[in-house]
Amino acid sequence: MEQVNGHQVVQLLEQFSPKALAMEGDPVGLQIGALNRKVTKVLTTLDVTHEVVDEAIKKGASFIIAHHPLLFRPLKSINLETNAGTLIEKCIKNDITIFAAHTNLDVAKGGVNDMLSKALELQDSQVLVKTYEDAYKKLIVFVPESHTTAVREAITAAGAGNIGDYSDCTFTSEGTGRFKPGTNADPFIGERETVEEVKEVKIESIFLSSDKKTILKALKSSHPYEEPAYDIFTQSIEGEAYGLGRVGKLKEPVTLGDFTKYVKKQLNVPALRVTGNPEKKIKKAAVLGGMGGKYFQIAKFAGADVYITGDVDFHTAQDAEAAGISIIDPGHHVEEIMKSGLAEELNKRAQNEGLNVEFIPSALSTEPFKFK
C-alpha cells in the first residue's frame, strides 16, 4: 500500500467533507503543524485537549482531525504560561498536526447531522437549514462515432447523468463536425491546413457542479481529439441541497416521554433536558448537532413535533414551547458521534485508494459537565 503524507489525508477528507461547505468565517483547515510529513495514524476527536494530544502521542498518531477548531479566534500572542500556549507547544514539540473540520463536517452528506439522524432512525430525512446548493449543469460534447460509447461511459462513471434514483442518463444525436487542423496540430482525424468533415455524435448529460473537475478529466482522457469540443450550461432545475440539521419521520408515532428515553439511549447521554407534555404524540423530529436553539422556528415550519439540539437557553426553550414544538437538549457533546463515524468513513476511502494510513477514534470524552 502507498505511504501517505498530510496532504493526502486532507485530500481524503476533502472528498467527504470539503472546506467549501463550511460556514463563512469558520476557521476550518490546518491549524498547527505541516502537511508534508509522513502520516501512518490519524486520531479523530471532537475537541483538542492536553489529554487528547497525549492519547495521540501514546497511540502513534501524528495527525489529529478535530471537529471543534482548537484556534477559533486569531491569536495575538502564544503565551506558554497559559493552557492554550502549553497545548500548542506540546503539539509542535511532538510533531502533531492539528486539522479542523467543523461546519463543513456538519453540512456534509454523511457528516455529523446525518450521523445523528441515522442514530435516531429518522426516515426520509432532509436538510433542515439550507446553507449551500450544488447546482446542476449540462455537458454537451461532440465525439466521432467510433468513440461515442467510450466517452459516454467515461463521463457517466465520473458522475455525469445521475438524476434522483437514475444513473447513466444521457442523450445522443448525430451530425457532421467540421474543423481545420493548424500547422502545429496533431489531428486524430484529417490533415493539417485542410478542412475536414466527420460524422460525429453529440452527447448531452447532466451533472452536479462539484463533479465538474472529475468529469472533465474523464472526458479529456477518453476523447480521441487533441482539443475536444464541449459546452457547459447552468441548469434552472433545483440542485442538491446541503445544510445544517436534518428533519425526518419516526418509524411510528410515540409519546414525547418515550421518545425522550429513546434519544437518551441512542445518543448515549446520562441526562438531558426536555420541554412539553410527556403524553404528546411525536411523528416527526428535527435534529441539529451542537448549539442550534436559534433554528427552532425552522424546525417547527418543517413540521417537526420535537427538536433535538444542544445548548438551548431558558428564553429560547420558553419561546419554542409557546410555538408548540418540544425541545430535547442532550447537550453539545453528542457531536462526539463524529469520532467513530469519521474514522470509519476515512478508513474505507483510504483502503479503496490503497493508502497506508489508519484512522482511529479518540477513546476519551471531552464533555466538561459532570452529572450528579
4-104+336-361 and 112-132+242-330: identical CATH topology: yes
pLDDT in tens, 170-181: 999 999 988 888
Per-residue pLDDT band for 189 (boundaries 50, 70, 90) equals confident
Strand positions, DSSP E, 184-226: 196-208
Q: Which fold has domain 112-132+242-330?
A: 3.40.1390
Of the candidates 212, 200, 188, 203, the residue with the CA atom closest to the CA atom of residue 151: 203
Q: Where are the domains of the chain?
A: 4-104+336-361, 112-132+242-330, 136-234
Residue 184 has pLDDT above 80, yes or no: yes
Residue 299 has pLDDT above 80, yes or no: yes
pLDDT in tens, 43-72: 999 999 999 999 999 999 999 999 999 999
Q: Which amino acid is at 278?
A: P
Torsion of the alpha carbons at 236, 237, 240 and 243, rounded to the nearest 10: 70
Per-residue pLDDT band for 118 (boundaries 50, 70, 90) equals very high
Between helix 6-16 and helix 337-352 the angle, nearest 10°, is 110
pLDDT for residue 177? 85
Q: What percent of the chain has pLDDT over 90?
A: 88
Per-residue pLDDT band for 117 (boundaries 50, 70, 90) equals very high
| Mean pLDDT estimate for the chain | 95
**C-alpha dist (Å) from residue 19 to 13, 44, 355:** 9, 17, 22
Pairing of strands 306-310, 281-291: parallel
CATH of 136-234, one of 2.160.20.10, 3.60.150.10, 3.40.140.10, 3.30.70.120: 3.30.70.120
Residue 94 has pLDDT above 80, yes or no: yes
* Superfamily of segment(s) 4-104+336-361: NIF3 (NGG1p interacting factor 3)-like (3.40.1390.30)
Of the candidates 183, 178, 186, 156, the residue with the CA atom closest to the CA atom of residue 169: 156
Q: Which residues contact 111 (CB under 8 A, 6 or more apart)?
A: 16, 17, 104, 105, 338
